[in-house]
Amino acid sequence: MSEKKFSKKHEWVSLDGDVATVGITKHATEMLGDIVFVEVPDAGKAVEKEGQAAVVESTKAASDVYSPISGEITEGNKVIADDPGSVNTDPEGASWFFKLKIKDKSEYDSLMSKDEYDKFCKENPS
């Protein structure tokens, strides 16, 4: 599995061959608060880079989760749909949102590194 890359919309992506795993960052979960609902996409759905792909809701509000990369969904993580609170516990590990078969690796390459993302969060406090 490749190193994690990060988007400005607070998603992370890791790459294994041409299959990317996408989730939301720890920073995102801290901004959202207690997560109480998650909707993940079904396999076969086509998503565009920065297109809406999933939904996450905290006690406060609903937010869209975007795919930082275009491709075709191969799997949505049903575990987090059944237990939304698990996203708060392990957002960058077991609580990934979806996997997709990517079309263009350069979209992955253009995302931020961990250091760049940390810097981005510091400069753009919510």
The label of the residue with tokens 């995302």 reads 111
Comparison of 6 and 66: residue with beta carbon closer to other proteins: 66
Task: Give CA–CA dist 41/4, Å, rounded.
Answer: 21
Task: Give the torsion through C-alpha atoms of 122, 57, 101, 13, to 10 deg.
Answer: 20
**Cβ–Cβ < 8 Å for 94, 79:** yes
Least distance (Å) from other proteins to the CB of residue 29? 10
Least distance (Å) from other proteins to the CB of residue 124? 17
Least distance (Å) from other proteins to the CB of residue 9? 18
Comparison of 82 and 115: residue with beta carbon closer to other proteins: 82
Comparison of 13 and 80: residue with beta carbon closer to other proteins: 80
Least distance (Å) from other proteins to the CB of residue 93? 20
**Cβ–Cβ < 8 Å for 29, 91:** yes
Comparison of 1 and 61: residue with beta carbon closer to other proteins: 61
What is the dihedral sign for C-alpha 47, 48, 49, 50? negative
Q: Where do contacts with other proteins occur on this chain (CB under 8 A)?
A: 33-34, 36-37, 39, 55, 57-62, 81, 84
